[in-house]
Amino acid sequence: MREKYNQLTTLLGQIADLRHTAALLEWDQQTYMPEGAAVARGRQIATISTIAHNMSTSPELGSLLDELQSWAEGQGVDSTVCSLVRVARRDYMKEVRVPADYVEEFSIVTTAAHHAWTDARAKSAFAIFRPHLEKIVELNKRYISFFPPADHPYDTLLDNFEPGMKTAEVKAIFEKLRPAQVKLIQAISGRQQVNDKFMNLQYDEQKQWDFGVMVATAFGYDWRRGRQDRSAHPFTTSFSMDDVRITTRFEKNSGASALFSTMHETGHALYEQGISPELNRTPLEGGASLALHESQSRLWENIVGRSLPFWEYFYPQLQKIFPAHLAGIRLDDWYMGINRVERSLIRVEADEATYNLHIMLRLELEIAMIEGSINVKDLPEAWNARMQQYLGITPPDDAHGVLQDIHWAGGMLGYFSTYALGNLISAQLWEKHAADNPGIEEQMRKGDFTRLLDWLRGNIHCHGRKFEPQKLVERVTGRGIDP
């Protein structure tokens, strides 16, 4: 059986190589590719994706997984061998239901949609993006049709990003969370607002970049196995655990936007760089789920990056870099400024108190599109109505509303709830880490994040996809995702 297992890992490694190659083309598409190359790039990604899909649905792979199942289970339920065969089999059973021509069409449609979204966002014109999104919604409905009926059709999409999670579970979590968050926001809005005018100045972009690199390095990001570039929407991508790249963006008159973007993406990258080397080029390489991944980015961005101990170490250095902006601004002023709570239009710029409401809005719209209770053409109006209902503000245009995120252009329906779930997991992980390492705040005051990263690596990162997300959270914290 060991020989069969080696055949399996060889085949899975080749599939991983192809998918990493497609990811490299997608990274280039969002960073350096000339606009005129969009059609050709779509075909290239489609070709590679189709080859990978054909290999990952081949009878050879299915036979190997069938033959190895009993033997793998005999190696121990938590063993790498058993986990690899289990996860590979789960992936295979999903992929084999999806026709190759669908994979090709999906790649071509989403590549064109990405460039349409970029143009539409720049012009604040949803009409440019609308026909592309209509195709994407129909493709997602068609994808759902490949699978047996679920409790809710959205379950099939959600499972791609949060394995084992049901739409009803997410709704229940959000329904418990929403009233408390709305109440909190209402209470804060009635109080005197924090002065953060010093944040709304022009900060030199290269100096912002350099400071972000300094912080990412302190967190533990390995620049020998990664790099940072610019993109319209910040993201992290991995071509192997030895090539994990991040991007950031700069907002005019926003002194901390690029910094917190870099911290956020560094959190994702640390996860990918920390996966056990034995999982390289296997289906276990990567995060357990999107919520687990988001828990890492939000932990480093918010729980660490917006904390007072963190800035007790870094703020004096930031003042030296931007003396004209910050010379008269006390540490407490800066700390209050970066933690200002207000109703805002843009999700990625939202504070911790309002952020989850942005996610709930998107989840509801995605479910409605899949159910057919909202048509794509009515999306801007529906978006604006929910923004007013949940946050008490209405977007002035499409760029600040329905067009602000890139995810739908990539066809990623089923994704958004994982952002809020990740927030919850990050708080649970921090609570457990603080109990295990009561000196964490003093360590941060010295700019030392070694024990925190080691704890995350040992409890979360190293396992990759070995465990289902809810089971991994329970394994580490003693309970599942808890609102």
Q: How far apart are CA 269 and CA 306, in angstroms?
A: 19
| Cβ-contact 146, 97 below 8 angstroms | yes
State the Cα angle at 23 between 18 and 25, rounded to 5°.
Answer: 100
| Cβ-contact 214, 231 below 8 angstroms | no
Between strands 228-230 and 243-248, the pairing is parallel
Q: Is 265 a catalytic residue?
A: yes
Residues 6 or more apart whose Cβ sits within 8 Å of residue 38: 29, 111, 112, 114, 115
> Which of 26, 265, 301, 468 is an active site residue?
265
Burial 126-163 (b: 16+ CB within 10 A, else e): bebbbebbebbbebbbebbeebeeeebbbbbbbbebbb
Long-range contacts of 46-51 (CB under 8 A, 24+ apart): 46/103, 46/104, 46/105, 46/107, 46/108, 46/111, 47/104, 48/18, 48/21, 48/22, 49/19, 49/22, 49/103, 49/104, 49/106, 49/107, 50/100, 50/103, 50/104, 50/107, 51/18
Beta bridge partners of 237: 245
Show which residues are catalytic.
265
